[in-house]
Amino acid sequence: MENKPLIIGLTGGIGAGKSTVRRYFERIHQIPSYDADTRAKWLINHLEPLKTQLIELFGQEAYTHGTWTPSVVSPKIMANPELTKQLNGLVHPCVKTDFAQWHAQQNAPYVIKEAALLIEAGTYQECDRLAVVTAMESTRIQRILNRDPQRSISEIKNILARQLPESEKLKLANDIIYNEEQQALIPQLEKLHRIWLSLSLPH
C-alpha cells in the first residue's frame, strides 16, 4: 500500500502572509498545495447539492445568474451571526470531502492545506502537522491596506478582532513561521522543508 503524503495544515490571521508561504513551497519545491478558501468558493458556485442548500438558507437572491453573490449574503450574515455557523456547517463538509479526494491523487512527500479557518473549523486535527504564519498586527494592517486599499483601518481592526486571537493559534502550532520584513523568511521555510521531508519518510 502506498504511503499517502503527509498533510501540513497552514494557517494564520488575515495579512500574516500564509498564501505567500504556500506559493513558495509550490514554486520552489513543487509541493502540491490545496487552497481551501478558493476551493470553497468554487464549490459554492459549482456543486449543485450545496447550491440547493444555500438557496434554502439564504433565498434565491443568494445567486445572481447562477453565481454566488456575497454583496447579498454578507448583510444577512452581519445581521444574524447564527447564519455564519449554518453556512460553515454546509460548506466545510464539502471542502473536507473535496480535499480528501484531492489528497488521494497526490504523489509527493507532503502536501500543504492552506485555510483561514483551519483551527476554527477543527480541520487542523485532520492534518499531520500545523504551521501558523504570524506577524505583528501593525505589519498585517499595513499589508491589508496595500492589498485592499478600499478597506479602512477601523474595518481591518474589526476583522482582526473577530478572528481567533494569534496567541491561541500559536499554542496549537507545531511550526511557527515569523513573516516580518526584518525576519528572514526563506531560511525558515527551507528548514521546515527539510523537517517535513524527514517526517514523510517511512519509519
Residue with more model confidence, 183 or 1: 183
Whole-structure pTM value? 0.88
CA 31 vs. chain centroid, Å, equals: 16
Three-state DSSP state, 58: helix
Three-state DSSP state, 51: helix
CA 61 vs. chain centroid, Å, equals: 27
Going by DSSP bridges, is the β-strand pair 33-35/6-11 parallel, antiparallel, or unpaired? unpaired
In this model, does residue 165 exceed pLDDT 90? no
CA 20 vs. chain centroid, Å, equals: 12
Rounded to whole angstroms, the Cα distance separating 178 from 83 reads: 34
C-alpha cell at position 192? 521546515
Domain 1-32+109-194 class in CATH: alpha beta
CB atoms within 10 A of CB 159: 14
Rounded to whole angstroms, the Cα distance separating 74 from 89 reads: 16
12: left (phi over 0), alpha (psi -120 to 50) or beta: left
Helices (H), 59-105: 70-79, 82-104
Q: What is the pLDDT of residues 87-99, one digit of tens each?
A: 999 999 999 999 9
C-alpha cell at position 183? 525576519
Mean pLDDT of 23-51: 96
CA separation (Å) from 97 to 40, 50, 129, 157, 189?
A: 11, 13, 19, 33, 29
Mean pLDDT of 124-135: 95
In this model, does residue 2 exceed pLDDT 80? no
Q: pLDDT at position 84, please?
A: 87
Minimum mean pLDDT range among 110-114, 125-129, 182-186: 182-186
Burial 24-33 (b: 16+ CB within 10 A, else e): bbeeeeebbb
Three-state DSSP state, 148: coil
Mean pLDDT of 54-82: 91
Confidence label for 1 from pLDDT (cuts 50, 70 and 90):
very low
Give the start-to-end residue ranges of the domains of the chain: 1-32+109-194, 38-105
Q: pLDDT at position 53, please?
A: 96
What phi and psi values does residue 118 have, to the nearest 5 degrees? Answer: -60, -40
